[in-house]
Amino acid sequence: MVLKADNVRVAVTGAVYNAPKTATRPTDATVALTGYADLGYVGDGGVTETRDRSTNQIRAWQNGALVREVVTESSIKYNFILLETKKETIELYYGTKVAVDGSVKINPAKTGGRQMFAIDVIDEDDIIRIDIPDGEVTEVGDQVYVNGEAIGYEVTVTGYEMTDSVSGETYSAVKWYGSLDTTGGN
């Protein structure tokens, strides 16, 4: 076994972006994003990716042997806290447009609808890009107003399954590893 410390990645910095579903999707880890809004500073907890999966075990009559386990539900979610109080973060958090006078009419049921998201995870010259072509804010955290703390806008984005028009493959997100050795070596 060959161990290579150069393969250890740290999420030193990064960015979270959103865009309407009409924007041009990224095609790799480094292509410039067109039509996406940079959502600004993210809290020091970074971005958490959660993949959930529920299964059903199928057992045989004979000895109750496990003969198969099928996936019955699955999802992928990204959670982060946005720190900048600006139009884009307010609209994402509340799921509605900011009026010209700076007001927001809050309806807790509004999600802002489906949109595209991109997340860049950066370690020096290495970049990991996550493309969520069909995502929606499905959860928001509490608003806390306290002296000495930034007002944060915690959101959870759920990626919905889509089918690739060329390959027919279904997926909820695409992740590119910019410096991943794909030649089959160690």
- Mean pLDDT, all residues of the chain: 94
- Whether domain 13-25+34-177 has CATH 2.60.40: the reply is no
Read off the pLDDT of residues 162-186 as tens digits, 9 standing for 90 and up: 998 889 999 999 999 987 777 765 5
Contacts of 103-112 with C-beta under 8 Å, sequence gap 24+, read 111/136, 111/137, 111/138, 112/136, 112/137
Read off the pLDDT of residues 52-106 as tens digits, 9 standing for 90 and up: 999 999 999 999 999 999 999 889 999 999 999 999 999 999 999 999 999 999 9
Read off the pLDDT of residues 7-39 as tens digits, 9 standing for 90 and up: 888 899 999 999 999 999 999 999 999 999 999
Read off the pLDDT of residues 94-136 as tens digits, 9 standing for 90 and up: 999 999 999 999 999 999 999 999 999 999 889 999 999 999 9
Extract the tokens encoding 68. Answer: 């198969």
Assign 6 a pLDDT band (cuts: 50, 70, 90): confident
What is the per-residue pLDDT for 181? 72
Q: For the chain, what are the domain ranges?
A: 13-25+34-177
